[in-house]
Amino acid sequence: MALQLASVKLWADNKNTAHEAYDGPVLRVAIMGLGGYGTRVAGAMQYCTKAKLVGAISGTPKKLTDWQDSFGIPAKNCYNYQTYHQIKNNPDIDAVYITTPNGLHHDMALAVAKAGKHVICEKPMALNAVQGQEMVDACKAAGVKLLVGYRMHFEPHTLEVIRMRKAGELGKILFFRGLCGFKIGDPKQWRLNKELAGGGSLMDIGIYAINGARYMTGEEPIWVTAQETKTDPVKFKEGVDETIQFQFGFPSGATASCLSTYNQNNLDKFFLNGEKGWAEMQPSTGYGPIKGRTHKGELNQPVTTHQTVQMDEFSDILLNGKQPVVPVDGNEAVKDLKIIDAIYAAVKTGKKVELSL
């Protein structure tokens, strides 16, 4: 936890994250799933102005006591996985951020919605599009909102490329390339467990290329083709993909070529090409500083702590009705899940799969 917080503080102390005076409503959040990413979000939230960490939900008692000490969370706002439905009776919590393994998102989101709290869920939102739509429907029926942790939708360098594309500075978009991956370690971790992860690299790092292809081109894919490569069937068991290459076609005629892998480092790269110009980002989605350049020169937008900005933006969306440049709601996530379903179908059949989003 100390390492996570030190990393977050390093970015939060950057001069570009200086606070501005704020006296509006504050979103009060409980985090469910106190692992590595939950801890990163918690640390980043210490620097939010519009959102506050007020609760914690975990199946590990020691984590709950540690978080009470580290983040000043009152014991009355701490729950385990058997008692968290009781948040219904806790007026101090507005929303729950689910950062548990993918396979747990669906049931937890339904329970949080039933308790009358807004749902914030990490991506991918569910294991498939059917589950995702059920989450959207449950939140709508409960009268609560559903947001997904698309932190890159608020990242300044990313938003500048989107602005340039919308302004026509790149001309007609022709091609996108997204390379996402890393060499995964511990073979016993949940990310290599089909039941908990729902797949392999595609369900973890590949989501960035999928979503990135959509917000970079500004279009929805209408077909997908895909191929899987597996060099270690012991580590990457049946249903857990090691490497998948996938391609999209868009209504304008633009195409995308992407790679998702658990067997290569030195990736995390986006490239967008148009008739008048281009944009390249590397790193394009990592936690540290995003770097990029275009045909006009280097991108020099502010460096931010992604999770701090995301949670403040989520507060504005949930409490003030703000509309983000790129959607971050459940419907946006269902589209990604439909694409993931199509990629897996294309891998299995070897055929082009038509899409209608």
Catalytic positions are 123, 208
Polymer length in residues for the chain: 357
**Inter-axis angle of helices 129-142 and 330-349, to 10 degrees?**
160
Question: In angstroms, how far apart are the furthest CA atoms of the chain?
Answer: 58
CA angle 7, 10, 13 (to 5 degrees): 145
Sheet holding 95-98, edge to edge: 78-79, 51-57, 27-32, 95-98, 118-121, 146-148
Contact call for residues 326 and 150 (beta carbons, < 8 A): yes
Determine the Cα–Cα distance for residues 202 and 6; give it in Å rounded to an integer.
Answer: 29
Closest CA to 151 of 121, 190, 131, 182: 121
Determine the Cα–Cα distance for residues 56 and 76; give it in Å rounded to an integer.
Answer: 10
Copy the structure tokens of residue 37. Answer: 């990413």
Q: Strand ranges (DSSP E) for 123-265?
A: 146-148, 173-181, 223-229, 243-249, 255-261
DSSP character at residue 47: T
DSSP character at residue 159: H
CA angle 355, 356, 357 (to 5 degrees): 115
Q: Cα–Cα distances in Å, from 117 out to 88, 92, 146?
A: 7, 11, 10
Determine the Cα–Cα distance for residues 130 and 78; give it in Å rounded to an integer.
Answer: 31
Please provide the distance, in angstroms rounded to a whole number, between the alpha carbons at the two ends of the chain: 40
Contact call for residues 252 and 219 (beta carbons, < 8 A): yes
Q: What number of other Cβ atoms are within 10 A of residue 143's Cβ?
A: 9
